[in-house]
Structure 1
Amino acid sequence: MDLDLLACQLIDRFQHGMPLCPEPYLEMAQVLGCSESQVIACLQRLELAGALSRIGPVFDHSRAGASTLAALAVPAERLHQVAKRVSQYPEVNHNYAREHHYNLWFVLTGPDRQHIERILEELEHDTGLTPLDLPMLTAYRIDLGFALGESR
């Protein structure tokens, strides 16, 4: 996808933090010198093109309660169905297909470890697949942002 100037500005300015206010898209528009409808339309174009996966917070798991990285070995013909089932949980984020025996990876976050275990058990019961459960032992903070720069 060829990104236009507004898309580049949105990504550069807001990928590490949206305004925390009642009208965040309006605030973003004011910062960028455009209209709220332009911001929303640009974000919709990015999503439709597959260039935007989500808009939302990323929580420090230790403050949220408990989390784990989980994976499933899903038969190729069931991958879409199982991914859709996994994504039904609001506790799930970063649900992605990978080229590996364990080909569906996701992060679960919940109020406590028992909550996480209950969801993993439900998923195993519903799908017939045993989740690989990899709770984080040590946190490493890295910047996952991508600066697009002022090249446009």
Structure 2
Amino acid sequence: MNAPSSAPSRRPPPAVLDELDRRIINALQGGFPISDEPYREVAAQLGTTEADLIARLQRLLDARVLTRFGPMFQIERLGGRFVLAALAVPEERFDEVAAAVNALPEVAHNYRREHRLNMWFVLATETPDGIAAATARIEAATGLPVFAFPKLREFFVDMRLKA
């Protein structure tokens, strides 16, 4: 989970990526092998070592070039549901509310925005009914109304870097 900061948002300097970093990002967007040694398999395809691949992924995560590395599931196919949600949080309560929201296991990630609705997060539940329960728990914990925006249409965004 990404905990929103109470400090004003500042854009970090652009990341410096070498050709292999770019090839790693491109290669891992489209699939990850299901095998006994998936990192070794990917590393061999990219002409590097397993240790180098893992170190580079960790560096990209630490530098926030990548915000997460893990599988993306079609939760609806598994019987669950995703919802984008937002709160209008008074500035003086922002950190307190962020902690309460982030404490819920249904919260996938959470971001501060410069808008009346200044806290945005994704709720992911195992069942469609779980969204209403999670929303009710957030409202009870914060005393603020949750604005839930269900997915109407899914888009696939593919970002490829020039290597």
| CA RMSD across the alignment | 2.1
Whole-Å separation in 2 of the counterparts to 1:6 and 1:116: 40
- Contact kept in structure 2, 1:6 and 1:42, CA below 8 Å: no
User: Can you list the C-alpha shifts for 1:89-148, whole angstroms capped at 9, x where unaligned?
Assistant: 443324222211111212212122321111111122222222111222x323232x2211
Alignment of 1:1-150 (within 5 A): 1-64=15-78, 65-136=80-151, 138-143=152-157, 145-150=158-163
Whole-Å separation in 2 of the counterparts to 1:100 and 1:125: 23
Whole-Å separation in 1 of the counterparts to 2:96 and 2:88: 13
Whole-Å separation in 2 of the counterparts to 1:51 and 1:87: 22
Q: What stretches of structure 1 of length at least 5 have no aligned partner?
A: none
Local SS of the residue matching 1:141: coil
- Contact kept in structure 2, 1:9 and 1:32, CA below 8 Å: yes
Q: Aligned residues: percent identity?
A: 42
CA change 1:3–1:78 in 2 (3 A) is: farther
Stretch deviating more after TM superposition (102-111 or 14-23): 14-23
Whole-Å separation in 2 of the counterparts to 1:34 and 1:81: 44
Amino acid at match of 2:160: A
CA change 1:92–1:16 in 2 (3 A) is: farther
Q: What stretches of structure 2 of length at least 5 have no aligned partner?
A: 1-14
Shift of 1:26: 2.2
Higher relative contact order, structure no. (Cα contacts within 8 Å, ≥ 6 residues apart): 2
Q: TM-score, normalised by structure 2?
A: 0.78
CA change 1:132–1:22 in 2 (3 A) is: farther
